[in-house]
Amino acid sequence: MNNTTVLQVGPLMPMVQDAIVGDYGALRLPDSPSGQDDFLLRHAESFEVAVTSGKVGVGTDLMRALPNLRAVINFGVGYDTTDFSQAAERGITVSNTPDVLNDCVADTAIALYLDVLRKTSAADRYVRRGDWVTTGNFPLATKASGKRVGILGLGRIGKAIARRLEGFDCIISYHSRNRVTGVSYEYAASPAELAAGCDVLIVAAAGGPESVRLVDAAVIEAIGPTGYLINIARGSVVDEAALVAALLKGRLAGAGLDVFADEPKVPEDLFALDNVVLLPHLGSGTHETRADMAELTLANLRSFLATGSVLTAVGA
């Protein structure tokens, strides 16, 4: 294997980047479009493996420009930035990092759930502004325990969220493409039906073409003015313009968002709303989980280069 077999696409954790450069002589795709053209003209044919993250991915054009690509090794469970249908057509293996981040992403969903209903971030700002002294007690919030919670996407992360919510005596229902066996939660036939029957809708569906705007204006309307939306999945799963409009008009009680349609841009209309909690896509962002994701990414790369198959293939 020559030294230019591995292509790095986008920034990666130092642990991953150092390993792929040190062990495999990976070259990094330049960030600028003109730099990329020149780079690909010289090197495109040599790359058999691309290592990337869910944030950047190997999109349609880049994948087309790599005629000998055999694998995309993705850091992150979400791979919606990689053209998976082209990969499938061309027999290109795609791996991701499932399971190792379930706990942290589910913990983040619970953090948003508690924060949005009990208004802890808003209350923190209240104390720091000195309002406790000048204005008195903070306004009452909404009880978080015992709520009816709908989970959109009862996959690995959705189930981890549900397990945590059981500890809060919540009544859980879900909608997924297919019914999930081995759970006692009620199944809703559509996202709108799920939204209509719950107090809090938590979005945990995978991103990608099949889930674009699954939560549309009608679903947001069905959550209603006393309901809340939490999204720890992908911004693309929610109609962001409809969400912002509903929040501004009081047609939704609040929202907790870790993901957005055009990250890192967040609709500025939301900044002034105390019933909205905004996080910078940090769902899996702990030292422990990111180290586990890095290790699994490298294990997939090593396995592919040694055997031609990965440990955690998407769609396997």
Site residues (CB under 6 A) for ligand 8YV? Answer: 53-55, 75-78, 101, 283-284
Report the DSSP beta bridge partners of residue 186.
Answer: 173
Termini Cα distance of the chain: 26
- Residue 11: CB partners within 8 Å, gap ≥ 6? 17, 53, 55, 56
Exactly one of 281, 288, 290, 295 is catalytic; name it: 281
101 vs 116 by CB, closer to ligand 8YV:
101
40 vs 101 by CB, closer to ligand 8YV:
101
Residue 176 to residue 170: CA distance in whole angstroms: 19
71 vs 233 by CB, closer to ligand 8YV:
233
Exactly one of 45, 166, 210, 263 is catalytic; name it: 263
Active site residue 234: yes
Active site residue 287: no
Question: Could you tell me if 66 and 5 are in contact, meaning their C-beta atoms sit under 8 angstroms apart?
Answer: no
55 vs 148 by CB, closer to ligand 8YV:
55
| Min separation Cβ 112 and ligand 8YV, Å | 14
DSSP letters of 161-191? HHHHHHTTT-EEEEE-SSPPTT--SEE-SSH
Residue 285 to residue 144: CA distance in whole angstroms: 24
| Min separation Cβ 29 and ligand 8YV, Å | 16
Active site residue 175: no
Exactly one of 48, 70, 175, 234 is catalytic; name it: 234
Sign of CA dihedral 164, 225, 273, 271: positive
| Min separation Cβ 281 and ligand 8YV, Å | 6
Residues with active-site annotation: 234, 263, 281
